[in-house]
Amino acid sequence: MSSHCSISSSFCQLIGSFVQLAEWSRGHEELLTTEPIPPTDPVPADVFEGNRRVTGTGNRNPATLVWRVIPNGSLLAYASAFEAEGRTWLLTSDLMIVPADRVRAVKRSQFKGKELGKGLELPLAWNRTHGPKPKYRRDDGGGFTPAGAVPGKTPVAIKDERVASGKKSYYELRDEPGVFVDEADMTFTRARKDLPRGVTPGGKWIEVKILPGTLTAYEGTRPVYASLFSPGKGGVPVPGHDHTKYATTAIGYFPIEWKDLNATMSNEKYGEPKVLWFSEVPHIQYLRAPLAMHVAYWHEDFGNPKSAECVNVSALDGHFLFNWTEPALPEGWGGIRPGGGNGPSTPVIVSAN
């Protein structure tokens, strides 16, 4: 399995603080580490003969020292880390050698949604911030006083009834009678009662809501998985505006067109990307290319707008959804499209709210 790292000159200085390149990179520092990447593997014998590189063709000529310059903001995946000539080097999946002291490693996000059933059902109230949000207990006078907290990026099961108190509204927790959360502090996942047009009874489908930042997987009208995702940072799309230019996630009904186990992603349309790329992005599900639902291993702020236009999910959520949706990817395959004997396509329905 590959690990991921980010270029130090783009996300942070080799020694110093994170430098944000532009609005699109806000939050990318959340998972960066400052610890050096240690060598954990032997020098790859199939790449080197003694100290001489023997692999590579075309632009990857072994006689050429520099194969490629990695631009600011890009991220790469590496398969191994080894020591040679007093430095640690990273071997990428396309057999590039990268000096480890010029990059910062990216920690693996631990964020994961919730499988529903077996005692956990909708509705859920999510704290989509990183910090805690207070819980409240209702006192004898009808007021609400703080009583604990909901951790960041965490859901709690709530009752359906909204309780008004002055200008505020609260929801009681199902598992903590008499304890409430403030409606203004939370974002909500509620079950849809009817099937959307185009979804077969009992069929799999995914509901994606831009403003609350919620994603729910269904089998028919039964919700089976709930999580947070990151839509385009441009917010709700404006009719007639280009989604890529304005970084908005398109609204509509999108049967999955194609699934890639992993791939390099870039907004450059032709040839090898040179301006910006994220390598080895796992579990990509194209909805209407370039719109895709895919893992974003470079941030952990799911529930809030972060993407260029795609549906960003965590690594753990992406793994679940990729294996849950149809068509299923056969063992050993790198990608699949629906139809032609491969099976049906799971629709993803994106709405503003």
Give the pLDDT confidence of 298-344 residue by residue, as tens digits: 999 999 999 999 999 999 999 999 999 999 999 999 999 999 999 99
> H or E segment at 316?
helix 315-324
Query: Alpha carbon 257 to chain centroid distance?
Result: 19
Q: Are 98 and 89 in contact (CB under 8 A)?
A: yes
Mean residue pLDDT across the chain: 89
Q: Do 74 and 7 meet the contact criterion of CB atoms below 8 Å apart?
A: yes
User: How far is the C-alpha of 286 from the C-alpha of 260, rounded, in Å?
Assistant: 8
| Low-confidence winner among 6-20, 123-137, 184-198, 204-218 (lowest mean pLDDT) | 6-20
| Cβ-based neighbour number of residue 339 at 10 Å | 10
Radius of gyration of the chain (CA): 23
pLDDT at 267 over 90: no
Task: Identify the pLDDT of residue 21.
Answer: 67
Tell me the C-alpha to C-alpha distance, in Å, between residue 31 and each of 108, 112, 284, 331: 7, 15, 21, 31
DSSP code, position 339: S
In the chain, the domains with their CATH numbers are: 3-105 (no CATH), 123-189 (2.30.30), 204-351 (2.40.440.10)
Residues 6+ apart with CB under 8 A from 25: 10, 11, 73
Closest CA to 310 of 215, 204, 229: 229
**Cis omega (within 30 of 0) for bond into 231:** no
Angle at 182 between CA 178 and CA 188, to 5 degrees: 105
Residue reference for tokens 């859920």: 124
Q: In this structure, what token pair is assigned to residue 141?
A: 């006078």
What is the structure's pLDDT at 351?
98
**Contact 145/137 with Cβ under 8 angstroms?**
yes
Residue 15 pLDDT exceeds 70: no
- Rounded Cα gap, residues 43 and 122, in angstroms: 51
CA 126 – CA 139 distance, rounded (Å): 24
Please give the model's pTM, rounded to 2 decimal places. Answer: 0.90
Q: Is pLDDT of 58 > 70?
A: no
CA distance 50 to 45: 8
Model pLDDT, residue 16: 39
Residue 285, H or E segment: strand 278-288
Q: Is the pLDDT of residue 27 over 60?
A: yes
| Exposure string over 252-289, b if 16+ CB within 10 A, otherwise e | ebbbbebbbebbbbbeeeeeebeebbbbbbbbbbbbee
d(CA 151, CA 345): 36
- Please name the residue that has the structure tokens 């520092």: 29
Could you give the angle at the alpha carbon of 168 between the alpha carbons of 166 and 170, nearest 5°? Answer: 120
Contact partners, residue 225, CB within 8 Å, separation at least 6: 113, 114, 115, 116, 216, 217, 320, 321, 324
CA distances from 229 to 137, 187, 233, 300 (A): 30, 12, 12, 10
Instruction: Quick: pLDDT tens for 231-259.
Output: 999 999 999 999 989 999 999 999 999 99
